[in-house]
Structure 1
Amino acid sequence: MALSFLALVACKDSEKKEKAVITTPAGEVSAPSGKVYAEISVKEGGTWQDGPRDHKEYTGGTFRNVDRLDVPAEHTDHTWYIRYEGPGWENSNVGYRLYLDWRNAIDVWGKKVDTLVLPYVGQDGFDSYHKPADWGMDVLKVAKGLGVGSYGRQVDGKTHHFNVVANTAAEVKNTDKEARVIIDYKGWETPGATIDLQSALSMYPEGRYMKVVLKPSEMTEGLCTGIVKFDDIDFLRKKGKQWGYIATYGKQSLSGADDQLGMAIFYKLSEAAELTTGTDDHLVIFKPAAKITYYLLAAWDQEKEGITDEEEFTGHLDELLSRLDTAGRLE
């Protein structure tokens, strides 16, 4: 889609206070107002059918944004039911999405524009966002990892995702100051433990970071976050007074171009039990706690006025680390 078309996302009649309407291949979509935005979009009007793999697929219907979703029992990866497979967040710098299925990884939207684009991502073909477009693209290959800053549980050297969950529900809340998605997992089974877990993932008008707050129903060993690892990519780590970070930087995007992607997680030193490397990720393992708070971040060198090299990236991380040590928070 052309940049002139993308610019419509930011249009708004300030006197009438009406949202702009964008025409996509799937029909008309209301453009979000504000500088930060989250959404979840599901198909309605279709039916669940047996698919070629050993699960059902959603056939027919059109996408509609919802404020709350109780994930159907039929849903798993690649069922074509949730647009771009889960909730998404964005501001003018970067966007993220979380696979709302057993993978439960966080992926990165690399943006070349500073307007909001999510309402029509995936409207012109379910996974069209894997190909470069004027607005940008999905730039991270998650594979079997946590992506950047998602969460799981590490047991006996294996990172467990969300393969067995009794029920998952997601709720979207947008204000001028925050775009938040709250996800409630009921009956999440991993070796030796079955718990409920609530995650609150928040993005803000400024910055590239997202805040994650995890609340398990009981103290549990091995809850973790991480960054998917690739060969020959620089791994960075640093500790401040109260906070630390782990990060990666290098050619680790899906674009196929000679571009650079940086990813980072900021964690509280008092909440971390161990930093380690798993099969698929660089990991932060947390101590058992009633609440865990951390931040994730991604920076793509194709962003408009973005971070373009590793020195600038580490300088940015050090600045944020200093802010965390001083104020205890970024937002």
Structure 2
Amino acid sequence: MNINIKKYLIITLLIFLIVNCTGNDSTYSVEVTNPLDSERIDEFVIINFDQLKITQAQQVNNLTVKNGETFIPSQLTDTDNDGTIDGVAVVLNFKPSESILLEINLNSPEKSKDDFIKRTYAEIAIKKSAEFKDGKYIGGNYENINNVKVPYNHIDHDNLFKYEGPGWESDKVGYRFYLDWRNAVDIFGKKTTDMVLQNVGVQALDQISEASYHSMSDWGADILKVGNSLGIGSVGMLDKGKVIMVSKTDSITCTVAENGIIKSDIRTRYYGWEVGNKKYNIQTDFSITAGSRLTFTEIQIDNEADNILTGIVKHENANLIKQESSIENDWSYLATFGEQTLFNDNLGMVIFYKNSELLEITEDEYSYIIVLKARNQKASYYFGAAWEKEKNGITGEKDFVSYLNETIQKLNNPIKLSYK
């Protein structure tokens, strides 16, 4: 036999073996089960690579997930907020007590994320080519960036950031927080399931008399009056009985950690946060998932912090709704409902917290306050808003309480995963 033909056959055989071995090693199965006797829509599920025995050496650049023969939306994700991709997230609909077998294929070119509808979004937009004059950035245009170190001279209402800080949204609702000394979270009520924030606040206050998002538009508006309160879900600490917001810091960085089709995340690091006679370094992650009103807040803090607090702004026309803590269930909630928007619409706001982390529930002049333990220098909670004018929105308090109780049931009975 010709030597060249032998070489060709050997190389072909090696390629065949490599491809087939790689294919076998890069296909995984996971069974996901709904433990409740009720359906679950848009359930966000994270599958950890370490449970699949996938190592960093395998260099996962993309993957596909199938439910039977159907590709489903998925995205690579950072499960522990350390900046490293270490899992895959999916969104699933479950029938009562249903089990679904998922097939995961690594580095598969078969299906692109562009084939699925984008249902979450996050951004930071900063003024470029602007003149800094009399404490404000004049002229120029807003451009999206992935991360920023906040300038030392930045103050509120100086036009540096589009709508004053980062924003994130799902197909239900949007949020922003003020990336300045106020550091409070605000709500964008949405009338549409489309992603809208990329087009919101593009004209700075030096160009118009009032921000456009303060007026009702086809997409919705900024609907919450925050004032001196915790807004919804803002981060702080209780010191000598007083709420201390993350206001005085040495420096701040802010990053769009994820901007995916089913999950988006804003990560902010505050260095030298001053509380009393101590300073802390703190990282916050605000993430939102497809089909959800909730922002999951994950906090990491150093220097033996003894508490982290959050809360909800008080409004005169809103009723307080409180679920008593229970040793049987880990999650509870504190909520309000009533005509508490800038447009006198019905709005429900809620904080879901873990009973095992709760120190106390209290209040001050401006806010209802939930004080949590910083166990192992970490804390977490969900906050959410339900506006009556969202598409198929919740219009009454009774339906809002039903939504809260359904959500609590899901939090206390998470989806079960079985790795095959």
Q: Shorter-chain TM-score category?
A: 0.7 to 0.9
Q: Is 2:159–2:204's contact at 8 Å kept on the other side of the alignment?
A: no
Q: Using the alignment, how far apart are the partners of 1:302 and 1:313 within structure 2?
A: 13
1:253 aligns with 2:341: yes
Alignment match, 1:242: 330
Q: Which runs of 5+ in 1 are unaligned?
A: 1-16, 20-31, 51-55
Identity of aligned pairs, percent? 37
Alignment match, 1:94: 173
Alignment match, 1:302: 389
Within 5 A, what are the aligned runs for 1:36-47? Answer: 36-47=120-131
**Residue 316 of structure 1 is aligned with which of 385, 397, 403?**
403
Q: Using the alignment, how far apart are the partners of 1:125 and 1:260 within structure 2?
A: 29
Q: Is 1:201–1:212's contact at 8 Å kept on the other side of the alignment?
A: yes
Alignment match, 1:131: 215
Which stretch shifts more, 205-214 or 222-231? 222-231
Which stretch shifts more, 288-297 or 313-322? 288-297
Alignment match, 2:371: 285
Aligned-partner residue type, residue 348 of structure 2: G
Shift of 1:47: 2.5
Shift of 1:160: 1.2
Q: Is 1:144–1:280's contact at 8 Å kept on the other side of the alignment?
A: yes
Deviations 1:79-127 (A, max 9, x none): 1010001111111111000111111111000111111110111124542
> Could you say what secondary structure the match of 1:219 adopts?
coil
Q: Which runs of 5+ in 2 are unaligned?
A: 1-111, 206-210
Alignment match, 2:306: 221
Q: Is 1:157–1:278's contact at 8 Å kept on the other side of the alignment?
A: no
Alignment match, 1:178: 263
Shift of 1:214: 0.4
TM-score by length of structure 2 reads 0.67
> Could you say what secondary structure the match of 2:159 adopts?
coil
Q: Using the alignment, how far apart are the partners of 1:217 and 1:33 within structure 2?
A: 39
1:142 aligns with 2:222: no
Deviations 1:278-328 (A, max 9, x none): 221101111232111100000100111111111111100101111111128
Aligned-partner residue type, residue 261 of structure 1: L
Q: Using the alignment, how far apart are the partners of 1:288 and 1:306 within structure 2?
A: 35
> Could you say what secondary structure the match of 2:280 adopts?
strand
Q: Per the alignment, do residues 155 and 279 of structure 1 end up closer, same or farther by CA in structure 2, a change over 3 Å counting?
A: farther
Please tell me whether Structure 1 or Structure 2 has the larger radius of gyration of its CA atoms. 2
Deviations 1:251-302 (A, max 9, x none): 11012x4x20100000011111001112211011112321111000001001
Alignment match, 1:269: 355
Q: Is 1:158–1:279's contact at 8 Å kept on the other side of the alignment?
A: no
Q: Is 2:235–2:246's contact at 8 Å kept on the other side of the alignment?
A: no
Q: Using the alignment, how far apart are the partners of 1:232 and 1:254 within structure 2?
A: 12
Shift of 1:156: 2.2
Q: Is 2:183–2:247's contact at 8 Å kept on the other side of the alignment?
A: no
Aligned-partner residue type, residue 115 of structure 1: D
Aligned-partner residue type, residue 176 of structure 2: R
> Could you say what secondary structure the match of 1:180 adopts?
strand
> Could you say what secondary structure the match of 1:148 adopts?
coil
Alignment match, 1:203: 288
1:78 aligns with 2:157: yes
Aligned-partner residue type, residue 267 of structure 1: Y
Q: Is 1:46–1:58's contact at 8 Å kept on the other side of the alignment?
A: yes
Which stretch shifts more, 270-279 or 155-164? 155-164
> Could you say what secondary structure the match of 1:327 adopts?
coil
> Could you say what secondary structure the match of 1:81 adopts?
coil
**Residue 110 of structure 1 is aligned with which of 179, 189, 210?**
189
1:165 aligns with 2:252: no
Alignment match, 1:67: 146
TM-score by length of structure 1 reads 0.85
